[in-house]
């Protein structure tokens, strides 16, 4: 390696260290349905193993490391043909928390979403859907929207274009004061050609009164 290559590598590592130390990985404030709609894949599966691919020498903070999880797919909720139920797939994540990596427990079942990498692989970060299935017992509506069937599922309503949750949305805008309530209870559902909130009444009642 030439001196300039070494210097460039060192500067890049330093930049990653500063960015991950200063900014960290902020929690994603997106409704689960938005994450589902925008994901390349969504699966329900069991984590079988994990392999760590180390970064270059000197990468003490694992900024260039990659963790690769082997996951047995129980149910494909969304994704390409390469994902088959009953088969194992590899889902990678970044090397440290500052870069939004996920830490999965071997033997546990998860609902997991993510995106396609530049090389055609599958990648998941903390900003994607990452639910341990047993923890969904405390969020029964989210569990049913993810894993259920019928009209009250994220999959059906994403397919029917109920995807706009922005502040300019004409049908499923989320009030700032009740975001967490909407995330755990409400689904943007299509009925008779229109998208509108379903199961949001309790959130509207719990919202603070306008000044």
pLDDT tens-digit series, residues 77-108:
999 999 999 999 999 999 988 899 999 999 99
| Residue 167 maps to a domain | yes
For residue 151, give its domain range: 32-205
- Residue 46 pLDDT > 50: yes
- Please count the structural domains in the chain: 1
Phi, psi of 38 (to 5 degrees): -90, -5
| Residue 211 maps to a domain | no
Answer whether 30's CB lies under 8 Å from 66's CB: no
| Residue 24 maps to a domain | no
Domain holding 86: CATH number? 2.40.50.120
Q: What per-residue confidence (pLDDT) applies to 15?
A: 40
Q: What is the pLDDT of residues 57-75, one digit of tens each?
A: 999 999 999 999 999 999 9
Q: What per-residue confidence (pLDDT) applies to 29?
A: 79
* Residue 37 among known ligand-binding residues: no
- Residue 47 pLDDT > 90: yes
* Contacts within 8 Å (CB) and 24+ apart, 145-151: 145/32, 145/33, 145/187, 146/32, 146/36, 146/42, 146/44, 146/77, 146/111, 147/44, 147/75, 147/77, 147/111, 151/189, 151/190, 151/191
Q: What is the pTM of this model?
A: 0.84
| Residue 20 maps to a domain | no
Q: What per-residue confidence (pLDDT) applies to 9?
A: 42
């Amino acid at each position: 390696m030439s001196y300039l290559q070494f210097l460039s590598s060192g500067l890049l590592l330093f930049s990653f260290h500063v960015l991950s130390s200063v900014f960290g990985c902020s929690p994603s404030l997106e409704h689960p349905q938005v994450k589902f709609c925008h994901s390349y894949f969504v699966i329900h599966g069991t984590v079988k193993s994990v392999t760590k691919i180390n970064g270059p020498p000197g990468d003490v903070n694992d900024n260039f490391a990659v963790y690769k999880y082997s996951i047995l797919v129980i149910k494909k909720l969304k994704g390409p043909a390469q994902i088959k139920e009953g088969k194992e797939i590899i889902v990678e994540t970044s090397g440290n928390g500052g870069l939004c990596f996920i830490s999965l427990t071997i033997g546990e079942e998860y609902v997991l979403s993510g995106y396609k990498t530049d090389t055609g692989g599958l990648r998941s970060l903390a900003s994607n859907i990452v639910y341990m299935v047993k923890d969904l017992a405390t969020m029964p509506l989210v569990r049913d929207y993810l894993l259920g069937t019928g009209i009250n599922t994220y999959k059906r309503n994403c397919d029917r274009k109920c995807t706009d949750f922005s502040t300019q949305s004409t049908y499923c805008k989320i009030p700032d004061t009740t975001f967490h309530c909407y995330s755990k209870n409400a689904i943007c559902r299509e009925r008779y050609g229109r998208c509108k909130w379903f199961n949001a009444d309790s959130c509207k009642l719990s919202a603070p009164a306008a000044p």
